Structure formats: C-alpha cells, structure tokens
C-alpha cells in the first residue's frame, strides 16, 4: 500500500488547514554567551548568593535590573540567567542598582536609582537567598532628581559606606559622606560635595584600580570613553584627579558607557565590564598590573550577541551567495546592519560587516528587504523607514545606488516595513509592506523582472489591522503552494493570515508558543536547513529571538481522508472526548491519539464493529495543549481528525 507523509503538527485538519505549530525558542543562535543585551546596559557585580564568586546584575531602560548568576567559579566564571531576586522591585524604582551591606547584618542590601530617585531595599532574607523589602523615604533628604546612578564605598576609612551619585540631566558627580554608622547609615545634602561634571548622564563607580589602598573613581557618561579619576589623596582624605590616558581608547566606539569592575579571573587585578546604549556588554581583562594596566578585550564571556542598537528588523537572505542565509537588519537610528553567516546552512555563525551598506541613510526606524529585482545576479535592497517612504537601492557590485525614479510616488502611513516576493507568480518581485497604521499594503510589480515598476493595489488585504507598526513575515507555512503572512505589531502583537486560495483568513493557532516583545518584527527563513520555515523576531530593544520550527512527519496509509464519517466532541477538549464514526461495513477498527511530538498517548486495541454509527468515549487522558491527532484505522481506510486543547 502506498504511504504518504502527513505534516501532522500544522495541518491535520482533513482539508490540510494550518492549525498549530511547535515553536522551540533557541536564542543562543544569536547570543552564544546567554547574557542578555539590554538597552542602556549597566553591569554591576557582587557575590549576591554568598557562594564565593561574583554574580552580576544588568541595569537597563527596558525594566528592572536583570540578575545573572555566576554558575562557574571565582577562577572560571560562567554566567546564566538567575532567579528573579527583584520580584518585589518596581521598575520605576530601579533602572539600575548596587549592593552593599548598609545595616551590617551580614547580607547585601540593594540601593537603586530609578525614575522615582534613590531607593533602599533591605535584604530581609540572608546572604545566600536575598529577599528585598523597600525602605520608604530612606533617601528623601537628597535632591538627586530622576534616574540617579549610585555607588557605595568607605572612602574615608571610618568603617561605614559613603555614596557617590551620578546625576542624569546635569552629569554631576556628587559625594555624600555617611554621617551615621555601619549599622545605621545617614546621608544628607548638608554633607554632600560636588566632585566634577562629566557632561550628561554620569555613571560613576568606586574601585581601587591602582591598588594603592584608596578608592579611585571611574565614570561613564553621555558620550564616548571612560573618565578615570585617580585618588591622589589618602584612604581617609580622597583627592580625585582626572587621568584621561588610563583606559586609552576603550569605549571610543561605544556610547553611554557604564562601567563595572571585578576580578573575574582571580589574578588580583580588576577587570572592566561596561555596558552601552546599544546593550551588548564589553569585557576587558587587565593582563598587566594594577599600577601598569594592559587592557585586553575578551569577546567570549559576554560576546557574540547580535544587536543593531534598537528596533531590530530582520531579513534573511543569502547575500554573499555561498549557500547559507545571512542576516540583514534595520535599526532604530536608520542604519542597515549586515551579519554574514560564516557557519553553514544548518549551523549559522555570524560576523557583523556592514561597510557595504554604509551609503544607505534615510530616516530612523529602518527596515530592509533583499532580492534581485533587476535580474542582474546581484541582490538589491528595498528600504523603509519612519517616514513611510520606500527606497530602491540597486546593487552595483561595488555598493548601492539609490534609484530615484522608482517608488518615489508611493508614501505609506509611516513605519514602512517592506518584504519582497513574487506574489502573483509572474516572474518578478512584488512588495508587501507593513505600515504604522497597522495595515498591510500590496505593491504589485507591473514592470518586468529587469525593470521594476511597483504600483499600490488598494484594499488587497481587506480590513486586516494589527493596531500599529505592522511588520510582515512571508512564507508558505502550510505547504499548500501559496504565501501566508505573520504580522508583528507595536505592542508585541502577533497575528497570522492564512492564504486560502487568495482569501486571507486570520488564524492565530499558529501563534501558540510564540512570545514577542514591543515592536515585534518577524521574518521567516530555514536556518537549520531542515526544509521548513523557522522564525526570527526583532524587537524594540534591538536583539533577535529565534524560534525553531519543529515540524514532525507522521507516515500513515494513503486514504481518501474524508472527515465526514468521523467526529469528536467537545472539541476543544479538557480531559475527555466522545468519538463518533460511521462504518460502511463490518470492520476491525483501531483508534489511537497522537500528541504534537508524534507520541501515542492513548490507544484502543483492535476490535470488530458492525456496519453503522458508533461512539467511543475517551476519558482520563492528559491531552497536551495544542493540536492532538486522532487516527481511526478500519480495514482499508485510515482517517485522521485534529483534537485541540487550549
């Protein structure tokens, strides 16, 4: 008997309609270190769980600080996302923070800076398992404004913690001496003194970098580089003097640098980890001495993360024609980023090299689509941006040339996000573009494969509207020979449009298992080379998420597959279902339930039933969420129906 492969995970209605998708999140493909890239990142270190090594928290503008636990050792660190130790912390109270035992009870308390100013969270747990409780009004006497950046150290060697605060709008560095004690700290404006002004947004930290027994001061700012204030005074009376040569050119290519210092290799010298406006962390090992530092970049511990600096909008295309998919991306500032796939078609590795795209410069919030629109063998790009315009950049082989007489009469509502494909199958590339108003537009190529002429076809997608900032992703997800569309929106919305012979029907079952963030920007591509479309999601923070598409093929006998003789109710189910079926003749029948992984979760042994209508109740089965498959074998026939559980 002939056999055929039934793609049971996404079809398995008997008319082969898309019904569910087993998406598997694997972000390591874009972030090998596992340490998140968060906007305006501010790393700070402490042994938060008292296990003898340095853990890390990352302050950021997208939420409260993120705890990254050191699961390695003091000599060989390994950082992984830790438990949510800030579960009770309001993000408005803590954009960043530092740890210090302010009440001398043997565990670390948390001092934060946020929109509400400075805040103290007392550790009411213990040194191994911190539990934080806000102390209301502890810093109410200080005029530090919004989003201050604190750090603490005993700069006068009197046994209690003093505090430096970086001011956001003014860039002021102000030192507050502790007039209380190690057990009961007290800070006031009366005992505050201005140290310097770094410009805007000061990010200060204390550290005895030169190992001379007193605390030096280092600050990032709204600008490049790091400012090092060497303490040329004493451990009791600090005197800070600016030394612009200490870090050489470190931080000269990044912005809003926020430093943290820690000895991550146990060599008795402080290493540098600093965050940036874009988000990725930069790690420099001091391979010299405290007195004569030699900074060596380490790109492995925190490196490898792909982040174009906000509003990532991915496009997968084999740009260098080497047989694997490369990654292009729009960005918040409008630049186009190119990540060459230096790995393989099934195991990608990325190398950012955007020089070829440097001439493309339009408005902010860019989006890019790639394809050979003039049939010269070179991939061209269509670029959209916040203005709603679309721009055709022809690839000359040496760079890109803006073609000014194409697309210039077309202006969408804003936030234009183009995608290229031959929708009408006439041999040239059309454009489907998302818009700021939440809608989709179809621009049919009325020219040729050599000379494109795109014209807007009004109302092609009917009343579809995702809300705001629509970004489409295109693929034949249900393998029925036409293009389906997944759209992302401003508030992390995802909506799926299934193409049924030219009729667009919203079917959000495909979204099960997907989680998107603000300004969701989806794109499909087969990154593991297994024959189906995987999903890459861009987002406002700038990073990328990767969802592997786990199709599963189940082989069953070829049949007429008419669902009229088999029904299931209720459907969707909870924990029991009734199956009704009709037999045209006395037959031996066998029933089995298959979950979305292909595992048989229930089976009824073969038995003989007479001609006519029958019903069987299935009880006590733990139906997995999503799509399950009921298979009925009866002699020469084998029929399947989908059974859903939400």
Other beta carbons within 10 Å of 354:
17
Give the span between the Cα atoms of 442 and 156, in whole angstroms. 68
* pLDDT level of residue 4 (50, 70, 90 thresholds): very low
Domains contained in the chain, CATH given = 39-297 (2.120.10.30), 321-549 (2.115.10), 566-645 (2.60.40.2550)
pLDDT tens for each residue of 259-295: 999 999 999 999 999 999 988 999 999 999 999 999 9
Q: What is the mean pLDDT of the chain?
A: 89
pLDDT at residue 226 above 60? yes
pLDDT tens for each residue of 30-69: 998 889 899 899 999 999 999 999 999 999 998 999 999 9
Starting at the edge strand that comes first in sequence, how are the strands of the sheet with 149-153 ordered?
Answer: 149-153, 162-166, 172-176, 192-197
Give percent helix, percent strand, percent coil of the chain, each to the nearest 5: 0, 40, 55
Q: Quick one: pLDDT at residue 23?
A: 87
Listed residue (123, 142, 143) closest to 133, CA to CA = 123
- End-to-end Cα separation, the chain, in angstroms: 36
pLDDT at residue 116 above 90? yes
Q: What is the dihedral of CA 395, 398, 402, 406, to 10 degrees?
A: -30
Give the span between the Cα atoms of 98 and 392, in whole angstroms. 49
DSSP state of 624: P
Cross-strand partners of 24: 548
C-beta of residue 156 within 8 angstroms of C-beta of residue 238: yes
* pLDDT level of residue 14 (50, 70, 90 thresholds): very low
Pairing of strands 471-475, 454-457: unpaired
pLDDT tens for each residue of 126-165: 999 999 999 999 999 999 999 999 999 999 999 999 999 9
* pLDDT level of residue 9 (50, 70, 90 thresholds): very low
pLDDT at residue 114 above 90? yes
pLDDT tens for each residue of 578-627: 989 888 888 888 888 877 556 788 888 889 999 889 999 888 777 776 66
Give the span between the Cα atoms of 419 and 432, in whole angstroms. 5
pLDDT at residue 326 above 70? yes
Contacts of 135 (CB under 8 A, 6+ apart): 119, 120, 121, 122
> pTM score, two decimals?
0.72
């Amino acid at each position: 008997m002939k056999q055929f492969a039934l793609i049971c995970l996404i079809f398995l209605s008997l008319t082969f309609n898309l019904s569910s998708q087993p998406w598997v999140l694997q972000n390591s493909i874009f972030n090998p270190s596992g340490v998140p890239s968060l906007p305006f990142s501010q790393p700070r270190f402490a042994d938060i769980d008292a296990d003898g090594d340095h853990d890390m928290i990352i302050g950021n503008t997208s939420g409260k600080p993120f705890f990254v636990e050191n699961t390695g050792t003091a000599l060989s660190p390994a950082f992984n996302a830790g438990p949510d130790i800030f579960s009770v912390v309001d993000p408005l109270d803590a954009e960043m923070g530092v740890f210090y035992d302010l009440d001398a009870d043997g565990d670390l308390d948390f001092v934060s800076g946020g929109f509400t100013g400075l805040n103290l969270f007392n550790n009411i747990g213990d040194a191994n398992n911190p539990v934080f409780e806000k102390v209301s009004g502890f810093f109410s006497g200080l005029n530090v404004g919004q989003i201050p950046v604190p750090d603490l150290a005993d700069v006068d060697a009197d046994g209690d913690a003093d505090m430096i605060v970086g001011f956001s709008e003014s860039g002021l560095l102000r030192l507050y001496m502790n007039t209380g004690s190690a057990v009961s700290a007290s800070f006031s404006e009366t005992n505050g003194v201005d140290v310097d002004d770094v410009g805007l947004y000061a990010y200060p930290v204390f550290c005895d970098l030169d190992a001379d027994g007193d605390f030096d001061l280092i600050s990032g700012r709204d600008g490049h580089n790091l400012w090092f204030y060497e303490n040329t005074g004493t451990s009791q009376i600090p005197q800070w003097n600016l030394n612009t040569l200490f870090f050489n050119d470190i931080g000269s290519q990044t912005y809003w640098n926020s430093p943290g210092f820690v000895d991550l290799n146990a060599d008795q010298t402080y290493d540098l980890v600093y965050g940036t406006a874009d988000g990725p962390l930069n790690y420099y090992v001091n391979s010299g001495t405290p007195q004569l530092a030699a900074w060596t970049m380490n790109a492995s511990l925190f490196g490898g993360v792909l982040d174009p600096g906000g509003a990532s909008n991915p496009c997968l295309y084999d740009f260098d024609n080497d047989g694997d998919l490369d990654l292009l991306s729009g960005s918040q500032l409008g630049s186009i980023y190119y990540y060459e796939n230096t790995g393989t078609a099934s195991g990608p590795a990325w190398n950012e090299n955007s020089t070829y795209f440097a001439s493309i410069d339009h408005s902010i919030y860019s989006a890019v689509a790639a394809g050979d629109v003039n049939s010269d063998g070179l991939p061209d790009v269509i670029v959209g941006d916040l203005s709603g315009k679309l721009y055709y950049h022809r690839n000359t082989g040496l760079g890109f040339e803006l073609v000014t007489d194409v697309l210039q009469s077309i202006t969408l509502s804003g936030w234009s996000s183009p995608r290229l494909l031959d929708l009408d199958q006439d041999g040239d590339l059309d454009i489907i573009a998302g818009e700021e108003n939440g809608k989709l537009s179809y621009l049919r190529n009325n020219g040729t494969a050599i000379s494109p002429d795109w014209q807007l076809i009004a109302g092609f997608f009917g009343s579809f509207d995702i809300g705001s900032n629509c970004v489409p992703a295109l693929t034949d997800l249900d393998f029925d020979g036409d293009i389906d569309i997944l759209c992302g929106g401003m508030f992390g919305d995802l909506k799926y449009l299934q193409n049924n012979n030219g009729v667009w029907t919203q079917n959000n079952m495909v979204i099960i298992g997907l989680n998107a963030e603000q300004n969701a920007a989806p794109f499909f591509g087969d990154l593991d080379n297994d024959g189906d479309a995987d999903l890459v999601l861009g987002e406002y923070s700038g990073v990328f998420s990767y969802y592997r598409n786990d199709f599963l093929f189940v082989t069953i006998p070829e049949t007429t597959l008419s669902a009229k003789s088999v029904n299931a109710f209720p459907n969707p189910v909870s924990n029991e279902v009734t199956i009704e079926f009709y037999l045209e003749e006395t037959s031996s029948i066998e029933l089995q339930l298959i979950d979305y992984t292909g595992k048989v979760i229930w089976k009824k042994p073969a038995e003989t039933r007479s001609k006519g209508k029958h019903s069987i109740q299935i009880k006590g089965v733990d139906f997995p969420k999503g799509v399950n498959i009921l298979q009925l074998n009866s002699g020469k026939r084998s029929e399947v129906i989908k059974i859903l559980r939400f």
